[in-house]
Chains A and B, each alone.
Chain A
Amino acid sequence: MQSKNTWRKMFGEQQRFMLMLIAPAMMLLILFQAIPIFIGGSASFRDWMLNDPKKTWVGLSQYTSVLSDPAFLKIVLPNTFIFMFASVIISLVIGLALALALNRPFRGQKLVQTILLLPLMVAPVIAAIMVRWMFNDQFGIVNVVLEALGGEGQPWLVQRWSAFSVIVLTDVWLWTPWFTLLLLAGLQSLPKEPFEAAAIDGTTAWRVFRHLTLPMLRPVIVVCIVIRSIDAFRTFDTVWALTGGGPARETELLSIYAYEQAFVFLDFAKGSAAAIIAALIILVVGLVLYRLLDRVRKMS
């Protein structure tokens, strides 16, 4: 009974209700996210090979070993950021254009909308395998079409930047529908009156978009950017299935790097250190993005 009394004393009736509402979610998060992150954090300070888990404390040496790895600094880190910016910006622009097109009625609108949502239904890993097949240098459809048009087939996936572009392209294809959905939902919840007034005034479509739609949609756009940036930063499936980080680890992203350290080179500690570094970087990025989101919300 003692504990129940302190529980009552510490929290009011409303606070207890609040805690009860989040209790199941919190329990799952602690068990399946917080504890593993803690274990990973602890492992990153130890000597922990998967085939020889000594688990002796080695301080920060795993971190220095990751941070002084030229592959990490010169390839993995820039790759991850370039990938994040390219993927988010391109799919935002295309997704916004598609949402605007779908927001007005035309014949076959429903069919077009379903087709544009197709990538959402395909597992990213399958999409990546399929794209790898399409860009195969000998049997891929892309080279066949290129050669039929008089061009020259390229060994797409064995050169760094062409392989990287194919990865970005796949990611854009996969996640554009996600932008389209969120932006379309945002467009449909905008008030109708300003648009009717603009139509009566005979305002051009571009001016309506620039001075009405865009400012009103800005909060939704920023949320989209925040969500997708965080997701793009931790992309795994697409790269893993498309290039496996190759050629010669040149298209590796942070997630792939951490996975490889742990499960290919069996160095669980170094993999964990890389994963913790990735988490810290994205936390900072996420914080900056959240401040941006807050500012936009307050502006409108």
Chain B
Amino acid sequence: MNTLQRRFFDFFAPGARRISFALTVTVVCFLFAFPVLWLILTSLRPQSGVYYVYRGLDFTLDSFVQVFANERLVQAFVNSAVIATLATIFSILVTVSSGYMLSRFRGPIASGWFGIIYALRCVPFVTWVLPLYFVEQRYGLYDSYVGLLLPHIAVHICFFSWLMKGFFDGIDPSMEQAALIDGCTRWGAFYRVALPSAVPAISALSVLSWLFSWNEFLFALILTGQHTPVITVVMAQFVSEMGMQWNLMAATAVLALVPAFLLTLFGQKYVIQGLKI
């Protein structure tokens, strides 16, 4: 459609383009939101009613009451929150310096480190989670907080170092060089000059890191047992080992969605500003 045609179209059908745009957006939003809406609907159904969701109008908050009464579930929520938060803090601490190094320096150490990171990022999780199970059992880390937390940090290192590097690449290093000339140490230049300018990237990666850890499943499945219940594993158990309790699974999932939703609601602005690749 050329400009003339478009003007013609707009003249006879004012708002037609806007209406079709709005319609498309609404349909796409509905499709994207549907599984979540369905999850919420299922969580509000009584135990027997989930099989007739498309008919009856029975709604109840009973599943949520049951979730809160379940000590193991509450424990799982606390565990997941603690691990996601600590994993976020530590993985940011570790990757901000690694990304800075990758961005500011050249030479065999920098390119070697980049090669290692890229290669390890490629390795499928199963390749190292299966043996990690034995390592953790031998050192008594299996089914403990630390045993789950440390792999959660390690898994972010490769990807986040890469993203941090991309962000530092976009920041002019002349300020740090000026600080070095003024007698600042290398650490001082990193800590006082580079770090404050990386705040957008740090906030972006914090949001992503927290979401990833909160929703992580495979590590928790293999590296935890009775003592360290984590929310994703407990939810999955509702529809396998403990029978088909769809309503309880859905209620737990809805509750698990709340913190993730709030974080995304307030954090999306920072993610979009801070992600430079």
Contacts and interface: CB of A to CB of B under 8 A. Distances in A.
A173 B3 contact: no
A133 interface: yes
Contacts of A276: 127
B110 interface: yes
A290 to B, nearest CB: 7
A142 to B, nearest CB: 10
Contacts of A101: 21, 25
Contacts of A186: 277
Contacts of A25: 94-95, 97-98, 157, 161
A15 to B, nearest CB: 6
A115 B132 contact: no
Interface in B1-50: 1-3, 6, 21, 25, 28-29, 32-33, 35-36, 38-39, 42, 50
A19 B253 contact: no
Interface stretch (A35-43, A59-67, A155-163): A35-43
Contacts, number: 246
Nearest to A284: B122
A279 B123 contact: yes
A218 interface: no
A217 B239 CA distance: 43
Q: Which of A126, A230, A234, A263 has the most CB of B within 10 A?
A: A126
Q: Which secondary structure dominates where chain B touches chain A? A: helix
A223 B277 contact: yes
B268 A122 contact: no
A82 interface: no
B128 A122 contact: no
Given A18-B101, A123-B232, A130-B253, A24 B124 contact: no
A240 to B, nearest CB: 8
Interface string B211-242: 10011111000100000000110011001000
A126 B234 CA distance: 11
Interface residues on A, range: 35 or more
B236 A122 contact: no
A126 B256 contact: yes
Given A36-B132, A236-B218, A262-B130, A22 B101 contact: yes
B217 A32 contact: no
B130 A40 contact: yes
Contacts of A56: none
A1 interface: no
Contacts of A285: 122
B275 to A, nearest CB: 4
B128 to A, nearest CB: 4
B236 A125 contact: yes
B59 interface: no
Given A25-B94, A123-B215, A181-B272, A173 B35 contact: yes
A66 B95 CA distance: 37
A38 to B, nearest CB: 8
B105 A18 contact: yes
A166 interface: no
Contacts of B134: 39
B260 to A, nearest CB: 4
A75 interface: no
Contacts of A32: 128, 132, 150-151, 154
Nearest to A15: B109
B261 interface: yes
Interface string A28-54: 110111111101100100000000000
A121 interface: yes
The 3 A-B pairs of least Cβ separation, nearest first, read A123-B215, A234-B124, A121-B260
Given A119-B32, A241-B236, A283-B122, 19 more contacts: A14-B105, A21-B101, A22-B98, A24-B93, A101-B25, A118-B36, A122-B35, A122-B39, A123-B253, A126-B256, A134-B38, A185-B271, A189-B276, A204-B1, A237-B218, A268-B130, A271-B130, A272-B131, A275-B124
Interface of A: 13-15, 17-19, 21-22, 24-26, 28-29, 31-37, 39-40, 43, 98, 101, 106, 112-127, 129-131, 133-134, 139, 141, 144, 173, 181-182, 184-186, 188-189, 202, 204, 220, 223-224, 227, 230, 233-234, 236-237, 241, 254-255, 258-259, 262-263, 268, 271-272, 275-276, 278-279, 282-283, 285-286, 290
